Structure 1
Amino acid sequence: MHPSLEYILVGAIAAAGSFLLTPLARWVAISWGAVARPRDRDVHAVAIPRLGGVALFCGFALALFVAARLPTLRGSFENGPEMPWVVIAGAIICGIGILDDRYELDSLTKLAGQVLAAAIMVTRGGVQLAEFYIPGSTVSLGQDLAVPLTVALTVLTINAINFIDGLDGLAAGVTAIGAGAFFVYSYHLAQGNILDVAAAPLLLTAALVGTCVGFLPHNFFPARIFMGDSGSMLIGLMLSAAAATATTSADPQTFAGAAGSIPLALPLLIPLAVLVIPFVDLLLAVIRRVRHGQSPFAPDKRHLHHRLLELGHSHRRAVLLLYFWAALLAFGGVGFAVFRGPWVLLSMLCAGVLLALFVSMVPRLHLGRGHPPVVRQAP
Structure 2
Amino acid sequence: MREYLLVFLVAGAATYLLTVIAREIALRTGAVAKVRDRDIHAEPIPYLGGLAMLGGLTAAYVVAHHLPFLSHSGGPFVFHDARIVLIAGAMICAVGTLDDLFELDALTKLGGQVLAAGFLVLNGIQYLYFPQGQGGQFSLDPAQGALLTAFVIVATINAVNFVDGLDGLATGVVAIGAIAFFFFCYQLTNLNNASLASTGALLSAMLGGACVGFLPHNVNPARLFMGDSGSMLLGLVLSASAITLTGQYSGTELSKGAMGSPASLAPTFLPLALPITLLVVPIADLVLAVIRRTRRGQAFYHPDKEHLHHRLLEIGHSQRRAVLIMWMWAALVAGSTVVISLYTGPVMWSSIAAAAVVTVTLTFLLPVLRRPGTAEPETR
Provide TM-score, normalisation by structure 1. 0.92
| Corresponding residue for residue 174 of structure 1 | 173
1:333 aligns with 2:332: no
Shift of 1:357: 1.9
1:229 aligns with 2:228: yes
Q: Is the 8 A contact 1:43 1:376 kept in 2?
A: no
Q: Which amino acid aligns with 2:68?
A: P
| Corresponding residue for residue 356 of structure 1 | 359
Tell me which of 54, 57, 60 is aligned to 2:54.
Answer: 57
| Corresponding residue for residue 297 of structure 2 | 293
C-alpha spacing 1:84/1:245, structure 2 compared with 1 (3 Å)? closer
| Corresponding residue for residue 205 of structure 1 | 204
Distance 1:200 1:211 in 2: 16
The DSSP-based 3-state class of the residue aligned with 1:264 is: coil
The DSSP-based 3-state class of the residue aligned with 2:130 is: strand
Tell me which of 272, 279, 296 is aligned to 1:275.
Answer: 279
C-alpha spacing 1:112/1:193, structure 2 compared with 1 (3 Å)? same
Distance 2:77 2:373 in 1: 54
Distance 1:318 1:367 in 2: 14
Shift of 1:248: 4.8
C-alpha spacing 1:336/1:111, structure 2 compared with 1 (3 Å)? same
Shift of 1:71: 1.8
Shift of 1:338: 4.1
Provide TM-score, normalisation by structure 2. 0.92
Distance 1:367 1:231 in 2: 35
Q: Is the 8 A contact 1:364 1:370 kept in 2?
A: no
Shift of 1:334: 1.5
Deviates more, 1:192-201 or 1:141-150: 192-201
| Corresponding residue for residue 95 of structure 1 | 94
Distance 2:122 2:304 in 1: 35
Superposed counterparts of 1:111-126, under 5 Å:
111-124=110-123, 126=124
Q: Which amino acid aligns with 2:206?
A: A
Shift of 1:122: 2.0
Superposed counterparts of 1:5-44, under 5 Å:
5-44=2-41
Distance 2:341 2:81 in 1: 28
Distance 1:83 1:351 in 2: 37
Q: Which amino acid aligns with 1:88?
A: I
The DSSP-based 3-state class of the residue aligned with 1:253 is: coil
Shift of 1:292: 0.7
| Corresponding residue for residue 347 of structure 1 | 350
Q: Is the 8 A contact 2:178 2:208 kept in 1?
A: yes
The DSSP-based 3-state class of the residue aligned with 1:281 is: helix
C-alpha spacing 1:367/1:230, structure 2 compared with 1 (3 Å)? closer
1:163-203: CA deviation from partner (whole Å, max 9, x where unpaired): 00000001110001000000001110222245421110010
Q: Is the 8 A contact 1:247 1:268 kept in 2?
A: no
Shift of 1:256: 3.0
C-alpha spacing 1:23/1:207, structure 2 compared with 1 (3 Å)? same
The DSSP-based 3-state class of the residue aligned with 1:66 is: helix
Distance 2:331 2:318 in 1: 20
Distance 2:166 2:284 in 1: 17
Distance 2:369 2:3 in 1: 49
Distance 2:351 2:7 in 1: 33
Q: Which runs of 5+ in 2 are unaligned?
A: none
Deviates more, 1:126-135 or 1:177-186: 126-135
Residues paired across the two proteins, number: 372
Superposed counterparts of 1:77-226, under 5 Å:
78-80=76-78, 82-124=81-123, 126-135=124-133, 138-226=137-225
Q: Is the 8 A contact 2:117 2:150 kept in 1?
A: yes
Deviates more, 1:100-109 or 1:186-195: 186-195
C-alpha spacing 1:6/1:299, structure 2 compared with 1 (3 Å)? same
C-alpha spacing 1:41/1:277, structure 2 compared with 1 (3 Å)? same
Distance 2:377 2:298 in 1: 29
Q: Is the 8 A contact 1:314 1:374 kept in 2?
A: yes
Shift of 1:364: 3.7
Distance 2:38 2:68 in 1: 49
Deviates more, 1:291-300 or 1:72-81: 72-81
Cα RMSD after superposing both structures: 2.0
Tell me which of 260, 264, 269 is aligned to 2:267.
Answer: 264
C-alpha spacing 1:346/1:370, structure 2 compared with 1 (3 Å)? farther
The DSSP-based 3-state class of the residue aligned with 1:97 is: helix
Distance 1:306 1:147 in 2: 36
Shift of 1:247: 4.5
Q: Is the 8 A contact 1:161 1:236 kept in 2?
A: yes
Q: Is the 8 A contact 2:158 2:235 kept in 1?
A: yes
